[in-house]
Every structure is written in C-alpha cells, then in structure tokens.
Structure 1
Amino acid sequence: MSATESREARAAARASHEANPVLTIDHVSVDYLAQRTVHAVKDVSLTLGRGEILGLAGESGCGKSTLAYAINRLLKPPAVVSSGTISFHSREGYTIDLGSLHGDDLRAFRWDRISMVFQGAMNSLNPVISIRAQLEDVFTTHRPEMSKKERRERCGELLERVGVDRSRLRSFPHELSGGMRQRVMIAMAMALDPQVMIMDEPTTALDVVVQREILREITRLRAELGFAVIFITHDLPLLLEISDRIAVMREGEIVELGGAVDVYTNPQHEYTKRLLASFPRLTGERGDFARGSHDRTAGSHEAHASNDGRGAE
C-alpha cells in the first residue's frame, strides 16, 4: 500500500464515526453537588462510530469513569448530569435520548444496547454463586422467554467465545485465575449482543502477558461481532495498540481527540505530549515506548477502514 493509500485509509477510518454513529455525547457536564460543587466532567462532546474502538485516556481522577457512568445512567447522588444530552443510534434506524429513559425502560436498555465491564471487574463476580448461575441471571432477567436448556447452551457458547472452557460454568469465582475472571466479565457484557461495550480499565491488576491476551480477545470479538467499544484507561501505550481514535482527558475536559496514529506521531496538546514523553522503555529515548511499531498501529487503522460498516450489517 502506497503512502497516499495509507493516508486515505486512515482518513476513512477517522471519518466513519461521523457517517455511521452509534453513540453521540453532546456537551455533557457532570457535577458532584457536595459542600463544594465538583465539576467532574466539563462540556464533553464525543461521537462513537459503529464498530469503532475509541480510547479514553487520562490520569486518575480526570473524570473518565464518571463519564462512563453518565452514559449508562449509573451515576448516584450527589452526582448529576448538569447539562448536555447522550443519544444512542440503534442499528435498526431509530435514536434514543438516554436522559428520557426511566424505570423499566432504562433497565431493559442497559446491558441489552450498552453494556459495561466495570473497573475492578475481577472482583465484580459474586463469590458464592457459580459462573453458570451468574451468566444465566442475565438471560433470566432480559430474555425470560428462553428455556433453561437454551440459557445453558448460550452460557457455554459465551465462555468458549472468550477462550474459557465451558466446563468452567460449574466453577466459583475463587477457582478461576484473574485473567479467566476478566474473560467471564467480558462474556457477561456481550451476552445480549450489545451495540456498545464500555470497558473501564479492564486490564488493571493483570500481568502483561494476560493483558496482551485480553486485548487480543477484545480486538477479535469486535471484528467478529461489530460492536463499538469505549476503552478507558490511564495506559496510553495500551490504547495506541488497539484504538481507532483516542480522546485525552484532563480535569474533566477532552483536551485532544484524533486518530491513534496522529495522536502518537503528531500530538497537539501540551498535556498529550507530556503523557507520551512520560513512558520510558528498556532501550531508546524517553517517550519511545510503543510496544509495537508505528506501522503496526497504522495497519490496525487501515484494517478498520476496510471493514467499516461491518457492525451495521
């Protein structure tokens, strides 16, 4: 592929989120109404393309998780969405204003259209209930018409899809390794074939080998199933490996947003430049940290551009 073709492919990948959006965040702000009001998220606007992996990077406390909870309507007092709208664009062709959902409508929407892998997900499983029972609970709640046999077969398929043997359905969480528990949580999040999956630091506390395996699974599943991902982490090099675009967040604001290759090779904001320069490697200059080559990251963009629209099928 020539340099011109490569640039065109990356441009197509960047433009896809505007041509075929699945989620639109429009001037959203979130405040914590304590004795002194904390402006945790400030006037954030983002568009998530169908089938896109959007990385959300930033230091601890910058508002990444608060934004994720706002999207899924999981904020608890004293947190409130003080302004803005969040809209979900279904593949069936209609749009839902998430702020208008309440009660049963909101419960039916969550996990079915937008699911979430929570921060510290390895500890999110109930320690005294088997993996089978916890997976089946998703179908019992959201797909009550399914028979017991259908639920059990589907649970086994989900585990195998994330690389866990279905015999582990009989296991309890403490009998699984950290990586396997994380895979179970990803299986649970994709159980109802959601169109958007929010992953809040899903590889935290995993060793680098298991991290690599989890990232590979996420990329593969996105390619197979066509769901979009908002991947939240403070690990910018990790995002450069898997993301189509990256948003850099600081003190509640998006200070930079662009294609992953562009953010790596030509950062615009001073904070992004300092983030890139802060990661050393065993050899080479400070900031020369990418786990793979720049070309491999670019190749990921080209592949996404050539497969654009898969999630809309």
Structure 2
Amino acid sequence: MNPSTPRHIADPVVTIEDFSIDYVGQVTTHAVKNVKLTLGRGEILGLAGESGCGKSTLAYGITRLLKPPALISTGHVDFHSREGWTADLSTLSGDELRQFRWDKISMVFQGAMNSLNPVISIRAQLEDVFTAHRPGMSREERVRKCGDLLERVGVERSRLSSFPHELSGGMRQRVMIAMAMALDPQVMIMDEPTTALDVVVQREILDEITRLRSELGFAVIFITHDLPLLLEISDRIAVMKAGEIVELNSAYELYTNPQNEYTKRLLASFPSLTGERGDFIRTGVSDDRLNETTQTEIDQEVATS
C-alpha cells in the first residue's frame, strides 16, 4: 500500500453509494439524498450538520434499523470485512441481519438513559449481547467478559449489579460504548454520544473513544452537530445539509479552508473562546479565513429562515 494513499481509499471498511432515504406519506420527505461516502478501516469520520438534516436517518439506514414510513429509495451500503469478504447490506435479512449488526457494525444510540432498559441490571443487559451472539459461551465467561468490558471503558466491575438509574449520565454512556464494542466490531456508529453531558464528562468520553479506537482498530462514524468537537477527534469530516453531503474533507482542511458557504456559516456560528471570531478550537489556534462570513450575512440568513 502506498503510504500517501488515503486510508479510506487504500483500505475501506464501508462504502456507501448513491444512498437515498424517503419518509413516505401524503407528502414524501426526502430525508437523505444520494449520499456517497467511504469509511476507511480504523478511521474516525465525523458527520456534522444542524438538527433535522438527516444524520441519524443515515445512520439508521446504514444499519437497516429504519421503520415505516422510512424507505431506502436508492443506493446500497457495502461492508468490506477484514477477513476479505464483502457484503451488500441490502441483501441481508432475518437472523443473518441480526447477527451481522452487532458483530460487524454496532451502534451507540443517542440518549443512553433511553437506550438502556431501566428495570434490568447492567450485567443482564451486557450478558444479553453474548447470549444472542455467542450462545456457546458459559455463564461464568459471560460475567467475566462483562466485567472486563466495563473496566475497559473506565467503570468499576462492581457496577454490573447496578441499574441504569443508579449511574451518572457519563457512566451510562460508557456502558453503551462497552455494549457496542462487546463483540469486537469493525465499525461503530456513534449518534451524538456526548449530548446532554457536561464538558468535563464529554472530554473523558472523547478520550476513551480515541484510546479504544487506537487499541482495537475499529472505525467510527461520529455523528454530532458540534463541529468543534469533530475537528478535535476526526480524521475526516462530512458536512450534511438538508439530507445532502455538501462538503467532505480532512478535519484540518475543513477548518482552515472550508469550501462550502454552509460550512463557513457553521464554523462561524460557534462563540469564540478568546474574543477573536472563529477562534473556538480548544488549542486556541485561530485562522482569519474563517472570518469570511460576516455578521451581516448571518443576520440575513436568520431573517430569511
């Protein structure tokens, strides 16, 4: 492999081609429009955009978790396994699809308290993953593995007997991450995993994600509306607006030289940490090219929206 070849081209793990999703009704809503993306093995791909732009719908479409009236109208998603085989996810169904989802591509859902069952212990919910996907595993092995997973994400093993309401928001989110990586998946989709967490816990979660990615080598699609956060952790960032990918570039290039007007407005919308417009990166580095969108343009955009 040529060292200068981008990871997503040299060693792709997920390829999305001409992917469109509609919500069918009296008036059909085109939620995702002709998306084309390639995720490299071990890469963190950020997916940014305002609320309602189609980010979560795209994630649910990739994992085939959409329910009516949602409909994949065009395109397909291919998964390229590290073992050398390729699967078109549109051809999977039934038990084959259920086995594939958590084994090869897992997902950290938005809102950990809503994703965890409030009346079942953490141990039972983690064990359920192994019961469904590793039926030959003994009970003792399942319990040991669950404890190892919690410790890997920074939660004490003793918390296996806890219920979700007994954990803090950050701990619940760590449990969700542990559950998603239980079967050593090759891709993890994280749908706003730090939403509603305070900034200190956000930092801890991001550090854990970065560390685990380095240790285990899985690829990540990280979905959020927080563009500065993506600039810190992502290899590449795709900016989404009204169901379309309007810009896709490396995190550095997107920060220093945004091409799309919407990306420029998105970058300019974050408050400064130092008093200089656009200087929102936590390292304190600013770039004058982010000032191309004036306050007048922003005011005009707000007035017409």
TM-score (norm 1): 0.89
Measured against aligned partners, the alpha-carbon deviations of 1:33-64 in whole angstroms (never above 9, x if no partner) come to: 01100000000000000000000000000000
Report SS of the residue matched to 1:276.
helix
**Which residue number corresponds to residue 235 of structure 1?**
226
**Which residue number corresponds to residue 6 of structure 1?**
none
**Which residue number corresponds to residue 178 of structure 1?**
169
Give the counterpart letter for 1:263 in structure 2.
L
Q: Residue 13 of structure 2 is aligned with which of 13, 19, 22?
A: 22
Q: Distance in 1 between matches of 2:108 and 2:272?
A: 29
Q: Residue 220 of structure 1 is aligned with which of 211, 218, 225?
A: 211
Q: Residue 60 of structure 1 is aligned with which of 27, 31, 51?
A: 51
Task: Kindly indicate whether structure 1 or structure 2 has the higher relative contact order, using CA contacts under 8 Å at least 6 residues apart.
Answer: 1
1:286 Cα deviation after fit: 1.9
Q: Distance in 2 between matches of 1:254 and 1:285?
A: 29
1:293 Cα deviation after fit: 4.9
Q: Residue 151 of structure 1 is aligned with which of 132, 137, 142?
A: 142
Q: Residue 115 of structure 2 is aligned with which of 116, 119, 124?
A: 124
Q: Distance in 2 between matches of 1:24 and 1:293?
A: 35
For the Cα contact (< 8 Å) 1:117–1:202, is it kept in 2?
Answer: yes
Q: Residue 183 of structure 2 is aligned with which of 192, 199, 212?
A: 192
Report SS of the residue matched to 1:284.
coil
**Which residue number corresponds to residue 306 of structure 1?**
none
Q: Distance in 2 between matches of 1:93 and 1:69?
A: 25
Q: Is residue 282 of structure 2 the alignment partner of residue 282 of structure 1?
A: no
Q: Residue 140 of structure 1 is aligned with which of 131, 134, 156?
A: 131
**Which residue number corresponds to residue 110 of structure 1?**
101
**Which residue number corresponds to residue 74 of structure 2?**
83
Q: Distance in 2 between matches of 1:63 and 1:294?
A: 31
Q: Distance in 1 between matches of 2:89 and 2:273?
A: 46
Give the counterpart letter for 1:286 in structure 2.
R
For the Cα contact (< 8 Å) 2:273–2:279, is it kept in 1?
Answer: no
RMSD: 1.4
**Which residue number corresponds to residue 295 of structure 2?**
none
Give the counterpart letter for 2:180 in structure 1.
A
Q: Which runs of 5+ in 1 are unaligned?
A: 1-10, 296-313
The number of residue pairs the alignment matches comes to: 285
Q: Distance in 2 between matches of 1:291 and 1:65?
A: 26
1:287 Cα deviation after fit: 1.5
Q: Is residue 64 of structure 2 the alignment partner of residue 73 of structure 1?
A: yes
Q: Distance in 1 between matches of 2:210 and 2:39?
A: 16
Report SS of the residue matched to 1:70.
helix
For the Cα contact (< 8 Å) 2:194–2:205, is it kept in 1?
Answer: yes
